[in-house]
């Protein structure tokens, strides 16, 4: 059943974080639903601008609607990840999404507020929930290519002003993470001090942590052993998710880790079966491996085994 992120945040705030997982295709969707049902977790499906145009935005919509029928016990929100104003408006008017992220974090503070406010007004008029971003993550991905050098942590005082002036429902904060597989070059970690200051100014307000893939080192080693070349890949320690949750982080975004699972399964499969050219055997292995990955990640987030309570809270 598709619900809003607001409803999920209400159930989770301060106790655990909801996993927000990006999808691009059928196999990811299947693995995602199986993993969340396996671990009895509510979850958020994220669709980026790139994912919407990978095939056609209606294809993903169709796949998700079908998954909702195939897995009637699933409780999830459908969320636009890193939207610009135009894409947000398209999603708001589509009648399919339950929430959108407007990412105007590269603009000035006042411009970010003005753009976010327009999106909030349009979204709230139709019952949708809005996430915005303040501060800048370092990153290597296509649409969020902010150089590590320019990365700016979120200013807690600005965060309060931003939320008050925009009426936004949740806020993505820059606390030291970045997108992609190469997050840290040394011993950097999460800035819990910044999170604590933001929570002090915005009590009970859901915060979002982007760039939260953990880039498991065994996964990286297996990819490299099967012909890959991921040198120095490093991610966030997922044992820190629960602490982040107590400081108000209610949504944790994970995309890169799923791509690593895909890459490892396919590299190993075709190395082990060089005679194989069929897409289904490797696809089946991927769906099973991705489901196991999601189930294990939900344990780290604390969202595993919360599904019954969430269903009760929603009266479904």
Beta bridge partners of 78: 45
Q: Give the x/- contact pattern for Zn ion in 209-238, rule: CB under 5 A.
A: -x----------------------------
Window contacting ligand 13P (CB under 6 A); options: 59-67, 157-165, 220-228, 247-255: 247-255
Q: Reduce the secondary structure of the chain to three states and give it as a string.
A: CECCHHHHHHHHCCCCCEEEEECCCHHHHHHHHHHHHHCCCCEEEEEEHHHHHHCCHHHHHHHHHHHHHHCCCCCEEEEEEEECHHHHHHHHHHCCCCEEEECCCCCCHHHHHHHHHHHHHHHHHCCCEEEEEECECECCCHHHCCCHHHCECCCHHHHHHHHHHHCCCEEEECCCCECCCECCCCCCCCCHHHHHHHHHHCCCCCEEECCCCCCCHHHHHHHHHCCCCCCCCECCCHHHHHHHHHCCEEEEEECHHHHHHHHHHHHHHHHHCCCCCCHHHHHHHHHHHHHHHHHHHHHHHCCCCCHHHHHHHHCC
Beta bridge partners of 251: 18, 208
Out of 34, 210, 264, 267, the residue judged to bind ligand 13P by CB under 6 A: 210
Q: Quick one: tokens of 253? A: 């975004």
C-beta of 24 vs 306, nearer to ligand G3H: 24
Site for ligand G3H in 62-91 (CB under 6 A): 81-82
Out of 136, 199, 212, 303, the residue judged to bind ligand 13P by CB under 6 A: 212
Taking CB within 5 to 8 Å according to partner kind, which of Zn ion, ligand 13P, ligand G3H, none is near residue 267?
none
C-beta of 147 vs 204, nearer to Zn ion: 147
C-beta of 147 vs 164, nearer to ligand 13P: 147
Catalytic residue (choose from 68, 81, 84, 218): 81
Site for ligand 13P in 79-98 (CB under 6 A): 81-82
Question: Contact between 251 and Zn ion (CB under 5 A)?
Answer: no
Whether 81 is catalytic is yes
Least gap, CB of 206 to ligand G3H (angstroms): 18
Out of 5, 22, 178, 214, the residue judged to bind ligand G3H by CB under 6 A: 22
Site for ligand G3H in 252-291 (CB under 6 A): 255
Least gap, CB of 60 to ligand G3H (angstroms): 11
Question: Contact between 52 and Zn ion (CB under 5 A)?
Answer: no
C-beta of 219 vs 255, nearer to Zn ion: 255
C-beta of 166 vs 214, nearer to ligand 13P: 214
Residues classed as catalytic: 81
């Amino acid at each position: 059943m598709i619900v809003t992120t607001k409803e999920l945040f209400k159930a989770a705030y301060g106790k655990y974080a909801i996993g927000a997982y990006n999808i691009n295709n059928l196999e990811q969707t299947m693995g995602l639903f199986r993993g969340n049902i396996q671990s009895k977790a509510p979850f958020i499906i994220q669709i980026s601008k790139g994912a919407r145009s990978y095939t056609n935005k209606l294809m993903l919509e169709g796949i998700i609607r079908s998954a909702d029928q195939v897995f009637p016990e699933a409780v999830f929100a459908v969320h636009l990840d890193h939207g610009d104003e135009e894409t947000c408006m398209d999603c708001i008017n589509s009648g399919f999404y339950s929430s959108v992220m407007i990412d105007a974090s590269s603009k000035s503070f006042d411009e970010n507020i003005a753009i976010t406010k327009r999106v909030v007004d349009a979204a709230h008029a139709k019952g949708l929930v809005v996430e915005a971003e303040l501060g800048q993550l370092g990153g290597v991905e296509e649409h969020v290519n902010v150089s590590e050098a320019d990365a700016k942590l979120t200013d807690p005082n600005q965060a309060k002003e931003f939320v008050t002036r925009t009426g936004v429902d949740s806020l993505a904060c820059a606390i030291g993470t970045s997108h992609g597989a190469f997050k840290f070059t040394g011993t950097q970690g999460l800035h819990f001090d910044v999170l604590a200051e933001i929570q002090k100014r915005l009590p009970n307000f859901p915060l979002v942590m982007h760039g939260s893939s953990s880039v498991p080192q065994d996964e990286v080693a297996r990819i490299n052993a099967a012909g890959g070349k991921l040198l120095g890949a490093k991610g966030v320690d997922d044992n820190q998710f629960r602490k982040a949750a107590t400081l108000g982080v209610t949504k944790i975004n994970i995309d890169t880790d799923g791509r690593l699972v895909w890459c490892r399964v396919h590299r190993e499969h075709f190395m082990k079966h060089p005679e194989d050219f069929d897409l289904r055997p490797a696809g089946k292995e991927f769906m099973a491996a991705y489901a196991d990955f999601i189930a294990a990640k939900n344990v780290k987030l604390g969202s595993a085994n919360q599904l019954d309570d969430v269903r009760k809270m929603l009266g479904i």
